[in-house]
């Protein structure tokens, strides 16, 4: 996986689809619901199966053709018979498994499966988080725990918020895999009028950058919450992309342009968007909520909270200078005052 980073637009006209492609979407939250919309709006032939844990919601979706809990404006076009809470059955049936559970719960959700369950399958991760117990990105975890070769792993990244997909606002996805043909094949399953795709071979950089930006979006929210304005936020985010660059280059040094959408774009959308869970969570922390109250208030998952702890551990090995991540960790896990910590951080930024 040390090849040069390459982006290209995928041209739908040249796609050759296997009519029998069966895709399982694993997860029932906002991003999974948005992924279902892209996959069903895309006209290339495929069969879609959908797993979620919430039986009541499954019944709701079957009856009303809308997810009752997340992005309920989206019309669900998956046949009722293909929506299930039976994970083993859905994984067994499908060729492509799209993982879309917040990282903190993935290990538990997959605990009934084993390497045989994934034999010959392609795994696409739309998750932007670390497995907390192992401090690993999802690609690494699936490779180590389920022996899935990296060539069979695809990372689906942004910059893209589920809410804007629901509104059919023009969005760009980054689809990374060491196997460019596989990345292109998957891109051709999600391209639509409102979704454009870039293909990349940088699965490590794409995943790490997507996880790290959640921590910076939490920082951005905290700053807003304690009263800093746009002037300071721009300095914070300029420093954040430098931290991301230092870290991904330490972990996986290849020739990549950190200004591309998968890295800088994903950071910007999450740090600035009104839809960002991570920024919203950080804003509450800055305003004085404790972690538990902020989580309860949101009813959605801010990956940056969990990522902050894992990154703290992972960086003991790499020792990259990351003052913003350090400050977020101190606020979330060492109960430091947000306003004092941000004041100390401000003295280290330029
Ligand atoms: N939302 C977005 O715009 C984007 C999200 N992502 C990533 O997608 C992933 C999924 O996030 P998203 O869809 O936003 O999540 P949401 O916050 O919308 O939904 C939370 C999801 O987590 C599930 N969940 C909560 N607690 C548990 C638990 N204890 N065990 C198992 N599942 C649980 C919920 O299931 P239930 O409803 O049954 O409680 C629900 O499916 C994350 O890694 C996120 O970073 C990536 C790009 C864009
Ligand atoms: O990853 C995302 C956009 O690319 C979603 O970020 P939030 O989880 O902060 O909403």
Say whether 196 is catalytic: no
Annotated binding site for sn-glycerol 3-phosphate: 128, 158, 213, 266, 276-278
Q: How far is CA 142 from CA 30, 47, 201, 262, in A?
A: 22, 24, 17, 21
Q: Whose CA is nearest to atom 32 of ligand 1?
A: 105
Chunk the chain into consecutive blocks of 10 residues (it has 350) and report each block's average pLDDT, rounded to whole numbers.
42 48 98 98 97 98 98 98 98 98 98 98 98 97 98 97 98 98 98 98 97 98 98 98 98 97 98 96 98 94 98 98 98 98 97
28, 31, 296: residue to mutate for ligand 1 pocket, most atoms within 8 A of CB? 31
Q: How many angstroms is it from 307 CA to the middle of ligand 1?
A: 14
pLDDT at residue 89, rounded to an integer: 98
Ligand 1 centre to CA of 328 (Å) is 22
Q: What is the pLDDT of residue 35?
A: 98
Q: Which ligand is nearest to the CA of 25?
A: 1
Q: Evaluate if pTM is beyond 0.80.
A: yes
Using omega within 30 degrees of 0 as the cis cutoff, is the peptide bond preceding 234 cis?
A: no
* pLDDT of amino acid 11: 42
152 CA to middle of ligand 1, Å? 23
- Residues 6+ away with beta carbon under 8 Å from 160: 171, 172, 173, 269
CB atoms within 10 A of CB 53: 14
User: Would you tell me how many other CB atoms lie within 10 Å of the CB of residue 255?
Assistant: 10
* Per-residue CA distances from 172 to 8, 156, 193, 295 (Å): 12, 11, 11, 29
CA 140 to CA 137: how far, in whole Å? 6
- Residues touching ligand 2 (Cβ under 6 Å) are 128, 158-161, 214, 217, 266, 269-270, 275-278, 303
Write down the pLDDT at residue 20: 78
Q: Set out the domains of the chain in order of their start, with CATH numbers.
A: 8-201 (3.40.50.720), 205-346 (1.10.1040.10)
Rounded CA-CA distance 47/107 in Å is 26
* Residue 309, phi then psi, degrees to nearest 5: -70, -45
Distance 246 CA to ligand 1 centre (A): 28
For residue 211, which of 158, 254, 149 has the smallest C-alpha distance?
Answer: 158
The confidence score (pLDDT) of residue 299 equals 85
Among residues 213, 287, 319, 335, the one annotated as catalytic is 213
Tell me the binding residues: 30-31, 53, 70, 105, 128, 158, 162, 213, 266, 276-278, 301, 303
How far is Cα 68 from Cα 58, in angstroms, rounded to an integer?
A: 9
Q: Beta strands 47-51 and 122-125: pairing type?
A: unpaired
* Token pair belonging to 271: 């740090």
How many angstroms separate the first and last alpha carbons of the chain?
34
Question: What ligand has the least distance to the C-alpha of 162?
Answer: 1
């Amino acid at each position: 996986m040390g090849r040069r980073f390459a982006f290209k637009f995928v041209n739908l006209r040249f796609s050759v689809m296997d009519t029998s492609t069966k895709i399982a979407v694993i997860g029932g939250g906002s991003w999974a619901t948005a992924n279902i919309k892209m996959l069903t709006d895309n006209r290339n032939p495929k069969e879609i199966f959908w797993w979620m844990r919430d039986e009541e919601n499954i019944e709701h979706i079957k009856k009303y053709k809308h997810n009752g809990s997340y992005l309920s404006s989206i019309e669900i076009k998956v046949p009722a018979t293909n929506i299930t809470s039976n994970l083993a059955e859905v994984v067994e049936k499908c060729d492509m498994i799209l993982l879309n559970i917040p990282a903190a719960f993935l290990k538990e959700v997959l605990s009934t499966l084993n390497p045989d369950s994934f034999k010959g399958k392609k795994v696409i991760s739309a998750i932007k988080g670390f497995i907390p117990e192992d401090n690993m990105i999802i690609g690494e975890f699936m490779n180590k725990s389920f022996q899935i070769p990296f060539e069979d792993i695809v990372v689906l990244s942004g910059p893209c918020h589920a809410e804007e997909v629901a509104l059919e606002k023009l969005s760009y996805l980054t689809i990374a895999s060491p196997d460019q043909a596989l990345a292109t094949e998957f891109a051709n399953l999600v391209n639509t009028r409102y979704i454009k795709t870039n293909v990349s071979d940088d699965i490590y950089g794409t995943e790490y950058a997507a996880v790290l930006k959640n921590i910076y979006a939490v920082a951005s929210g905290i700053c807003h919450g304690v009263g800093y304005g746009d002037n300071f936020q721009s300095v914070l985010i300029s420093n954040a992309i430098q931290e991301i660059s230092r870290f991904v280059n330490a972990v996986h040094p290849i020739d990549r342009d950190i200004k591309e959408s998968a890295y800088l774009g994903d950071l910007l959308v999450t740090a600035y968007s009104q839809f960002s869970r991570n920024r919203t969570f950080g804003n509450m922390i800055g305003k004085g909520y404790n972690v538990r109250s902020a989580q309860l208030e949101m009813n959605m998952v801010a990956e940056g909270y969990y990522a902050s702890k894992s990154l703290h551990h992972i960086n003991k090995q790499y020792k990259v200078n990351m003052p913003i991540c350090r400050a977020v960790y101190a606020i979330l896990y060492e109960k430091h005052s947000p306003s004092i910590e941000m004041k100390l951080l401000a003295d280290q930024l330029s």
